[in-house]
Structure 1
Amino acid sequence: MKVIAYDRFRPGVTMETITPLLGEEVANVWRLWKLGVVRENYARADEPGVVIVFEVASVDDARRYVSDFPLSKAGYLEWFYLPVQAPLPLESLMDPSVDVAEPYDRTTTR
């Protein structure tokens, strides 16, 4: 399951507040990225913060990973979670005459 998690600074927290922990925070996310737990990581464009796409079994798993982040442990961030899935059945959105039969992958191999 993919879970999109995004954060927001708690009131009174500034970039200066979090700067001492950023190296440790980034290293933690990088370790999870190498494990395949973090699939994507973005800086927010609307305000300071990040958006992380997790590949986990549940929202609770994403919460557990986030709770181990140094900035979360310090109480500097508020997190929000959005579990997402493919909008199935996709075929229902298509023209009924479109061939959606197996095999789905019709690439040729040499």
Structure 2
Amino acid sequence: MQFLVIGRITAGTEIEQVLPFVKPEAAKAWELYASNHLRSIHYIADKSGAVLLFEANNLEEVNAMIAQLPMAQAGVLQFEVIPLLPYTGTEALFVK
């Protein structure tokens, strides 16, 4: 199952508080990517956070991976997790 995870800088957090965690966060993201759990990661255009696509068996597994992220541990990012299902709407194109 896939999960869209939106991580945003916690309200009241200055960018200077975030910067020390950029390299450790990237290292952990790479580890999750190499283990086939993190499928993609993108900055939000205004750099207020990031959007990640995770592959996991369930929500608890995703939350456990998020909890390992250095920025989550430091409390400088808040995360919203959205479970996804395959879109089946195009099936209507093939119904006779």
Relative to the length of structure 2, the TM-score reads 0.90
How many residues in Structure 1 have an aligned counterpart in Structure 2?
A: 96
Percent sequence identity over matched residues?
Answer: 23
Using CA pairs below 8 Å that are at least 6 residues apart, which structure has the higher relative contact order?
A: 2
Q: Which has the higher strand share?
A: 2
- RMSD value over aligned CA atoms? 1.5
Runs of 4+ in 1 over 4 A off after TM superposition: none
CA distance in 2, matches of 1:29, 1:71: 11
Matched, 1:60 2:64: no
Provide structure 1 residue ranges, at least 5 long, that are not aligned to the other structure: 98-110
Relative to the length of structure 1, the TM-score reads 0.79
Secondary structure, in 3 states, of the residue corresponding to 2:83?
Answer: strand
The residue aligned with 2:41 is 41
Q: Please show how residues 31-110 of structure 1 align to structure 2 within 5 Å.
A: 31-88=31-88, 90-91=90-91, 93-97=92-96
Secondary structure, in 3 states, of the residue corresponding to 2:33?
Answer: helix
Aligned-pair CA distance for 1:46: 4.4
CA distance in 2, matches of 1:96, 1:75: 49
CA distance in 1, matches of 2:45, 2:73: 24
Aligned-pair CA distance for 1:47: 4.8
Q: Which has the higher helix share?
A: 2
Provide structure 2 residue ranges, at least 5 long, that are not aligned to the other structure: none
